[in-house]
Structure formats: C-alpha cells, structure tokens
Structure 1
Amino acid sequence: MKMKTYRIRKPKIVVIGGGTGLPVILKSLRNQSADITAVVTVADDGGSSGELRDSVDMAPPGDLRNVLASLSDMPKLYEDLFQYRFHEDDKFLANHTIGNLLIAALSEMRNSTYEAIQLLSMMLHVDGHIYPSSETPLVLHADFDDGTSAIGESKIALDRKTIEKVYVTEKNGEKAVHAARKVVSAIHEADMVVLGPGSLFTSILPNLVIEELGEAVRTTDAEVVYICNIMTQKGETEHFSDADHIRVLHKHLDSKFIDTVLVNTEKVPEGYMDPEIYDEYLVQVTHDFNGLREEGCRVVSTDFLKLRDGGVFHDGDKVVDELFRIVFGAKI
C-alpha cells in the first residue's frame, strides 16, 4: 500500500460547538500540531451576550470570546483582562466582560462580527481560524413533544419538557440557510470534524441546523467525531444515554453522519459535583453500546474524565490524544 505524505503536515481539524466544553478541546488541540478551525454558535441570547446582541445588532460574543482566549498565546495578564467580568453592582457595565465589549466595539466599527473576530484573531495571535457559524445573529426555536414550543436559547430548558426538534431562523423569521464565509469550505477540506463537547440542543445543533453548514457536515469526506457529554443536562438531555445523543443528531440531519463517538466510562465520585455552581447537570449519561452500533458509529470508550473545582469536565489532553490516533489512522 502506498503511504501518503500525511504525517509531514498538520491535520486539518474543524471543531463545531459552543459553551464551556469547546475551549477545553481547543486549548489542548493548540498544544498539538493541528491546523484548527473553530466554528462557533451564534444563537445565544442570555446574559452579557444577549444584551450586547440586542443593543449593537451583532452576533452574541460570549462563546466567540472564550474560543479566542483558548486559541491565543497572549500572556496570562492579558487573558485575565480580556476575560474580566464587571461586578453585578457596576450599574450599566454589570456582568459585561472586557472581551465582549471589545468584540461589540469592533463589530460596530466594521459592521460585522465576522470581521471583528478576524481582526481580534490577528491582534491576539490566535493559532487557527475562528468563524461564527453564521454572519447574522440567529434565533433558536424548540418544538416539544407535547405540541408546545419555545423561542430563544435561554428559554428552552426552563420548563424541562422533552425536546422533539430545534431549528434556527434569522431575526426576521426567515429560515437560516447560509453559513458564514469559509465555514463550508473548511468542513469539506478537513481531515476531521469534531462536534462537542457541549449542550446538545443549544450549543451543537444550532450550528448543524443552518442548512448549508449541516449539509457540509453530512457530505464531507472528513471523519466526523462526536464527543459525548459526560453528564445529562436539565431541560435538554434528561435520562439520555450516549446513543440517544446520536439518534437526535442523526434525526435532525436525516442522515447517519457520525463516524466515531468518544464516550467517557470513568465514574464521577458520588456527591462530587457542587450543585450551587453546576445546577444544570444531573447524573452521568448512561451507556447503550448496542444502540450506538445500530446508529453506525465506531465507539471509543475510555477514561476522559477530569474533576476540577467541584465540576465534571472532559480531560482535553486525553480527548485530543484519541482524536490524533483516529485522524492519523483514518488517513493512512
């Protein structure tokens, strides 16, 4: 068999998602030899991001800010300043971060959040590419199994109903069709596309249900990997197994497009999680390996667990080691 020259270049890895899980993986990827592209959700409507999104008419900056910080080589003092959040009693600056305000200012100056992120990427010496999934802010909708619906990412989990499907629209109500520039080409040129970790219905699917983006993930020749969440999430994935996550993804794109799923099998110590801080997470995701195989997935199950500050996280280094084993194995 003829050996490819693949190992002499960086593998092209596209990571799609949002929330707190994405930066963990990106930071570890940055420490390895990878050509990274991060595609970040723009459907957040809560907190500082939601306020700035409404007042400046921009894509929500919070997830983009965290991704910028994770891929930048800026000194710790600069990162602390970029991530600094004003106190609740600071009147009109309450709860805003410096980074969010910088993204808002550049978005207004250039009339484009996409351009703002490209400029900040250069300013902060970002190693990789960061693109919002859409160049316009999107509205997330959820239809529940009881026939009711909710509008807005921050509203979806409140009533703890079973979600039937989610979809995104432009702010004018039109269907979200177009991905941000370079996103589709990055997915098609990738060696691997990684989904997650992150909230299934509010961080991962809001990207995939953008018509162009979902079609690109469904049809790419890249290895598509899903990093399954460790814990179930209140109002989103209560009582879910790992196979349930995959079934939902496949149902939304009407295709069995996930090639490999990474599943944590290490137990979280009983009573470890601090419910005051991590009140949205419930119990560990259960395992259904037969269900995963029925969905056509290769399963990698091992210890991906990292316990920190009363919370449960993926160990980024362990995950990235596995991603590199997969991407090199798939291309030889």
Structure 2
Amino acid sequence: MIKKNSSKRPKIVVIGGGTGLPVILKSLKNKNIDITAIVTTADDGGSSGILRNYIDMVPPGDIRNVMDALSNLPKVNLNLFQYRFKSKDQFFAGHPIGNLIIAALSEMNGGIFNAVKELSRIMKVDGHVYPATEQKLVLHAKFKDGSQVDGESEITNAHGQIKRVWVTTTNGKAPKAIDPVIKAIHDADQIVLGPGSLFTSILPELMINNLGKAIINANAQVVYICNIMAQNGETNGFSDADHVKVLNQHLKHHFIDMVFVNNKKVPKGYIDQNKWDEYNQQITKDPDELRKHGCKFIYDDFLDLHDHGAFHNGDKVVKKLLNIL
C-alpha cells in the first residue's frame, strides 16, 4: 500500500456499502488523509449473491467498488476490473471481472481478509479496505406489521415498513468484526456513516455487536451523511431526524455527532423513475427533532444531478468533512 506520512495524517473511517460509499472515497483519496473503508458483507443479490452461494465466500461486490474508488491504477485497468459480462454470455452472465478476481484471491489466500490485503497491493490502493467481518452475514428484518423477512435482497423487495434489523452468520450465530476493523475505529479521528441505504447498507455493519460498541465508545467524531432521496421499501416518508432516530434505536445510544443533509431541490420530473425505481420523494428536514437527538447538523447543497438521478457530490461532502475535522 502507498503511505504518505500516515502517522501524521488525520484518520477517517468510512462505513457502508452500495453505490454511496465509493462516491465519498473517490473524493477523499487525493486528500492528505489516512483512509479506512469498512464494507458490508450482507449483500446477497446479483453476482455477489451467486458467488456467495456457489463458492461459499463473503460477497465481493461492495468490496470491488471500494477498491475501484481507492485504486491508483490507470483508468483502462479499472475499466477492465469493473467490466461486467453481458447477459447473453450465459456462463459468466452478469459477473464483473473484479468479483471473479476477488473470488480467486479468496481461495488462493485462505479467506477474504488476506484476499483484500493482496488486492490492495496489486491495485495500488492508498488506504485500508476491510470487510466488516470475514463471515457471511444474513440480514434479518422485522416489519411493522409483525412479519419477518431474511436476506438483504428479499428485504428490499418486500417494500414494507421496517421496524428493526439484525444480523447473524449463515449458521445463525452472532457475527464478530475482525480485529483490524475495531482498531481502525478506536484510532479514528472521524467516523463517517454513508451515504447509503439505511437498513441494508449501513445498519448491517453497526449490528455486528463488537463493531457497534466500538463506534459508541470511540473518541472520534461520528458523522452521518443522510440520503438525498427516500427509498421504496426502506425509508418512505422519512425525515432526516427519522434516519437518526432509527440509528440511535438500533444501537440504544445517541452516538451521532453531526448530520449532513442536502437542502438543494431536485428539479421536478428530472429523475427517471424507470431507471431509478428505488427512489421516492426527497428526504424532508426536521431540525428541531434532530436537536432532540443531541446532534448538530449541516444543511447545504450536496446534490449532484446526472444520468437523470440524484446523488451526493463527493467533493462538496468531503470539503465539509475536512472543515469540521
């Protein structure tokens, strides 16, 4: 790994998964920061789900995207790493090459942790990438109507109002975060949660008992980057304060110090609902309720509009993170 006076650089730990985490990491990469990305291992859909089941490995998809975000390889190499075989290629249909490389390295190196360590070297990653745990996680959700659904993709597709989530290993036991994850949280100056799906990208890591406790006990500033849009099946009708309330309820502690909330309006009719069907309305703002949860907040323009979708502008978010750090 490339190191640049790492002992003197501020240490920022970013926790999450999905498409939101790489946005922040790409903008952090070129700053004088010691970066650690802690990535969810609960994904069970698409290529990751297939490899998880057939090869009995931790799902590689979110790890692949984080590696891409932090790599210093030329663009042509990264394009190959991220290339996804077309659906007509039956044997490899839907698999990105990067997922297959991670699968191979996991077999060669005796597990996902050593595989990621080796791949970080190969891809010239400036920072540390850790799976939240070396165990495959199963995400469970109880809905407000009393029903229960198991598995991340099934929970998302249920489109119900989620009351709470928790994680187990595939054999039903309590998972445990690996020691380097706990040490990174302990040593951090700032811990960033998100952006990402509240119940399926962020909470799965926090529900790992020793990881959640490490965040609660950390001396670091804990920042939550609130989603721009509500998500169907997860956060319909949520305000920014509702997100924080759910996080606090799950960890049974008021542990969020700062919340970043986009206040720029998404133009009416801009979002392509066919392409981005998980989007709902914009998250509403409730500053009075945020104060009741004991956290400060920043309302600002964090919006990046492209491809007829609404995303976080990584550079704007990182500028604010470094300002408050």
Shorter-normalised TM range: over 0.9
Task: Tell me if the contact between 1:231 and 1:281 (Cα under 8 Å) persists in the aligned partners.
Answer: yes
* 1:281 corresponds to: 279
Superposition deviation, residue 274 in structure 1: 1.1
* 1:143 corresponds to: 142
Higher alpha-carbon deviation: 218-227 or 108-117: 108-117
* 2:294 corresponds to: 296
Letter in 1 for 2:299: S
User: Is the counterpart of residue 40 in structure 1 residue 47 in structure 2?
Assistant: no
* 2:204 corresponds to: 206
1:103-252 map, 5 Å: 103-176=102-175, 178-252=176-250
* 1:3 corresponds to: none
Identity across matched positions, percent: 57
- 1:224 is paired with a residue of what secondary structure? strand
Superposition deviation, residue 114 in structure 1: 1.1
Task: Tell me if the contact between 1:56 and 1:108 (Cα under 8 Å) persists in the aligned partners.
Answer: no
- Distance in 2 (alpha carbons) for counterparts of 1:159 and 1:208: 22
- Distance in 1 (alpha carbons) for counterparts of 2:255 and 2:163: 19
Give the structure-2-normalised TM-score: 0.97
* 2:65 corresponds to: 66
- 1:240 is paired with a residue of what secondary structure? coil
User: Is the counterpart of residue 267 in structure 1 residue 262 in structure 2?
Assistant: no
- Distance in 2 (alpha carbons) for counterparts of 1:22 and 1:50: 19
Superposition deviation, residue 31 in structure 1: 1.6
Letter in 1 for 2:243: H
- Distance in 2 (alpha carbons) for counterparts of 1:229 and 1:249: 13
User: Is the counterpart of residue 78 in structure 1 residue 77 in structure 2?
Assistant: yes
Higher alpha-carbon deviation: 158-167 or 187-196: 158-167
- 1:155 is paired with a residue of what secondary structure? helix
Letter in 2 for 1:316: G
Superposition deviation, residue 33 in structure 1: 1.1
Post-superposition Cα deviations, 1:51-103, rounded to whole Å, max 9, x if no partner, equal 00111111100000000000001101100000000000101100000000000
* 1:5 corresponds to: none
State the superposition RMSD in angstroms.
0.8
Letter in 2 for 1:200: L
Letter in 1 for 2:268: E
* 1:330 corresponds to: none
- Distance in 2 (alpha carbons) for counterparts of 1:313 and 1:11: 26
- Distance in 2 (alpha carbons) for counterparts of 1:242 and 1:171: 33
Task: Tell me if the contact between 1:195 and 1:227 (Cα under 8 Å) persists in the aligned partners.
Answer: yes
Post-superposition Cα deviations, 1:278-311, rounded to whole Å, max 9, x if no partner, equal 1101110000000100000111111000001111
* 2:4 corresponds to: none
